[in-house]
Amino acid sequence: MPVQRTDPPAAVGPDPSGTGYAHAKAILLGEHAVVYGTPALAVPVHGLGVEARVWPAPEGVHVDSELFAGDASTAPGLVRPVVTALSAALDLVGLGHGAKVRILSSLPHERGLGSSAAVAAAVARAVAGLAGVELGPDALYKVVQEAERHSHGNPSGLDARAVVADTPIRFQRGRVAPVPVGTTTTFVLADSGMAGSTARSVAGVRERLEADPSAVERTFARIADLVEEGARQLAHGDLAALGTALSEDHRLLAWLGVSNEVLDRLVAAATAAGSAGAKLTGGGQGGCVIALADSEDHADELATALRGAGAARTWTTTVPAA
């Protein structure tokens, strides 16, 4: 069953509403190649997230968010995935199409951290709460993927799974599996200050694949190997080897054309500050860099070095041993 009735329903009282939450994600290894069926490894970023609250309305859809406030029919393109997620979730749980949604987010837009997927997941969960039902993982995935197609055209599905996963995951062709963590692992995320463009980067990789299929396919194969190695290293707590995998993956992504001078500079700054490995994360052509830290104290040093190298802002996230 796609949805399961909760008891009692979440939406009760004179002012019924539903609330949902989803967090950011960071891709450790495998972006871009994952679009062609190879695996990828992602970790949750719990310190950045989205909360959505949904109320019923007699008709129409009203959106209240940092990016836009007003009737959904006049919403800009950047907000259309929100409306898509809301409509898909309302259909799924059998509610009418009148609703008001309020979105509060600490997750930066267009930075490769899963903002659009997290918003869609939070909205879907809020609608489920309003209806007094619980969405199973596949039903939630379906709603988020529908919204993601408005953002990215033909998404791999990784973001839709990662923004609702509590642990690191290995993702391949829609299938997801948790990845154990051998030792508490700390990462620093650095915002390049430039909006990333997954669609543009994906198109560029496709052009390169068409121009030189054998070389790009070898690159994809090596990235796939790094994902498997990285999952083992994360499970064993081998941070030095994990860092080496991150750095090699960045070099391969740069060869594919999805890095740029700013991202390369941040990666170099992290390495100079003692990071065992750093790379771009997400779509590339802007967005963020992720750097592996030895400890929380070292994370502070990395953050300072990255801001000194031009990062607009930094965040530290820790993945506990499990």
pLDDT digits (tens, 9 = 90+) for 142-190: 999 988 887 766 778 899 999 999 999 999 998 999 999 999 999 999 9
pLDDT score of 5:
36
- Predicted model pTM: 0.89
- Please give the structure tokens belonging to residue 230: 């990285």
Q: Which of 92-106, 149-163, 302-316 has the highest mean pLDDT?
A: 302-316
Q: Which CATH class is domain 3-176?
A: alpha beta
Q: Is the dihedral of CA 8, 22, 144, 228 positive or negative?
A: negative
What is d(CA 9, CA 13) in angstroms, rounded to the nearest whole number? 11
pLDDT score of 77:
73
User: What is the DSSP code (8-state) at residue 34?
Assistant: G
Residues of the chain with CATH 3.30.230.10: 3-176
Q: Which of 57-66, 80-89, 131-140 has the highest mean pLDDT?
A: 131-140
Distances (CA, A) of 60 to 63, 70, 71, 79, 116: 10, 11, 7, 15, 22
Q: Which of 7, 71, 91, 159 is catalytic?
A: 159
Residues of the chain with CATH 3.30.70.890: 181-319
Given its phi and psi angles, is residue 274 left (phi above 0), alpha (psi -120 to 50 degrees) or beta? left
pLDDT digits (tens, 9 = 90+) for 178-208: 999 999 999 999 999 998 777 788 888 999 9
Where does 181-319 sit in CATH, by number? 3.30.70.890
pLDDT higher at 13 or 75: 75
Check if 297 is active-site: no
- Please give the structure tokens belonging to residue 78: 């950047």
Per-chain mean pLDDT for the chain: 90
Residue at 197: amino acid letter: S
Residue 292 near residue 242 (C-beta atoms within 8 A): yes
Q: How many residues does the chain have?
A: 322
DSSP string, 116-137: HHHHHHHHHHHHHHHHTEEE-H
pLDDT score of 13:
43
